[in-house]
Structure 1
Amino acid sequence: MPSLKELPPRRPEPPAPDDSPVRWERIDLDRYEVRAGGATVGFIDVVGAVFVALAGRRYDRAVEVLQTLDFAVAVGSISPPGAERPSP
């Protein structure tokens, strides 16, 4: 399908900057754990070209809050208020 070829390819996201209050780590082939203040605030699943943001401290209880093509937007959607969003 031509529309599928228009979706951006996904490569592993680079780690968060050292001075970032919000950090993420790739914990599986298609999953990132997002932490703020040393505590887990959510997860991001990579499903094809889409980032699915899940809010919650435990993956098995996390709630989907957003689907987006932009990793920074996904991280920002589960970051606590006042935390800086990652730069695109």
Structure 2
Amino acid sequence: MDINLDTGRDRLIVATQGRGAWSTDILYCEGDWNGDGITNSIDVLAFLNDWAAGSEDADFNDDGIVNTQDVLAFLNAWNVGC
């Protein structure tokens, strides 16, 4: 039997030996870049540092290219808040 449990990065999958598999949504805030639970200017600076370094993490829109479109997408998410 082949079971594919890869549902994307927004889900947590827990499988047990012989008991089944459960999944749940992972709640996170895209604008909280540093993951400290607060959306503030530090997140913008941290994102811009990653973006300027060309980090794959800064490919915010997941199109495979780190460019200004990622900055705009991040700023939109940051502006929405959590």
Q: TM-score range by the shorter chain?
A: under 0.3
Give 1 or 2 for the bigger CA radius of gyration: 2
Q: If the length of structure 2 is used for normalisation, what is the TM-score?
A: 0.24
* More contact order relative to length (CA 8 Å, sep ≥ 6): 2
Answer 1 or 2: which has greater helix percent: 2
